[in-house]
Amino acid sequence: EDQVTQSPEALRLQEGESSSLNCSYTVSGLRGLFWYRQDPGKGPEFLFTLYSAGEEKEKERLKATLTKKESFLHITAPKPEDSATYLCAVQSLTGGGNKLTFGTGTQLKVEL
């Protein structure tokens, strides 16, 4: 059974204070690992897909990295508008339907 564990559950940062969110996973063959951002009352918004260990993707202040057991979402010099819940999900090579298994998310709060 595929499993995704995200840590920490919640994180409070000062504006400009860089940090990393962790996503640990177990999957029977990784097809892809996905990061999403979710604002309160809204649907998840797609950020990145990572396919193989060593891969990195960047978007503005966010950088996602992948190893064989975990992924990190690095946030550099965050701003208050980066406050949101960040979700990680994996897709297995086995099983049909391109299904995603999600973690429970990290709630990020960036303060002035």
Partner 1 sequence: DAGITQSPRHKVTETGTPVTLRCHQTENHRYMYWYRQDPGHGLRLIHYSYGVKDTDKGEVSDGYSVSRSKTEDFLLTLESATSSQTSVYFCAIRASGTRDSSYNEQFFGPGTRLTVL
Contact residues: partner 1, CB under 8 A:
4, 31-32, 34, 36, 41-46, 49, 51, 87, 89, 91, 96-100, 102-105
Q: How far is the CB of 17 from partner 1 (least distance, A)?
A: 26
82 SS3 class: helix
CA–CA gap between residue 65 and residue 106 (Å, rounded) = 16
Q: Which is nearer to partner 1, 6 or 65 (CB)?
A: 6
32 and 90 Cβ atoms separated by less than 8 Å = yes
16 versus 51: smaller Cβ distance to partner 1: 51
Q: How far is the CB of 21 from partner 1 (least distance, A)?
A: 14
Burial of residue 18 (CB within 10 Å: 0-12, 13-18, 19+) is exposed
